[in-house]
Amino acid sequence: METRELMKKATIFHSHLCPGIAIGVLVAKYVLEHGFERSSDEELVAVVETDNCSVDALQALLGTTYGKGNLIHNDYGKNNYKIYSRKSLKAVKLALKASVLDNKKLSRDEKIQKLLDLEPEDLFDIREIEFDPPILAQIEESVPCDQCGELTMDSRIMRYQESNICIPCYKEIKK
């Protein structure tokens, strides 16, 4: 798919055009052009190290979403993207090159245009990585918190003085 078409689809999902969307589009473009297919379930997994706008492009274009459990966020503040294909057993890491956006004097529109003029290989350090994807999404029982009564995933319940306590209530108790 052409970069402009990918941008259009990602921008509709994200609701505005920005450099982050352009970065995510170029991640998706590389992935889709190199033997990975859009995910309808959990065939494709994205492990991202940022929470910026680029992640919305991955959701829109690759079908990797938090809700399906095939989008994993590691909060490292880096524009790094690991993509795993459970179908082809391939994995790749794309890491944004530091030198690409080092001109701080560019306007937002100029940054977007500069990004869209690049190929993914110009923007990212790209390498194949070991195929070691996260486990499939787990469906867990929900139990009520004995403090607030809200249903909480069983794996997130804290045991405190013989009570089942959700994490926010546990933090309040421990203050």
pLDDT tens per residue, range 127-170? 999 999 888 887 889 999 999 999 999 999 999 999 999 999 99
Residues of the chain with CATH 3.30.1330.130: 3-128
Are 145 and 173 spatial neighbours (Cβ–Cβ below 8 Å)?
no
pLDDT in tens, 44-83: 999 999 999 999 999 999 999 999 999 999 999 999 999 9
Q: Please compute Rg for the chain using Cα positions.
A: 19
Lowest mean pLDDT among 3-7, 11-15, 105-109, 124-128: 105-109
CA pair distance 23, 93, nearest whole angstrom: 14
Q: How confident is the model at residue 175 (pLDDT cuts 50, 70, 90)?
A: confident
pLDDT at 1 over 80: no
Q: What pTM value is reported for the model?
A: 0.83
Q: Which two tokens stand for residue 31?
A: 């992935």
Cα 135 to Cα 43, 71, 85, 98: the distances in Å are 11, 11, 13, 31
Class of domain 142-173: alpha beta
pLDDT per residue over 91-120, tens digit each? 999 999 988 766 678 888 999 999 999 999
Q: Which pLDDT belongs to residue 139?
A: 82
At the top level of CATH, the class of 3-128 is: alpha beta
- All CATH 3.30.60 domain ranges in the chain, comma separated: 142-173
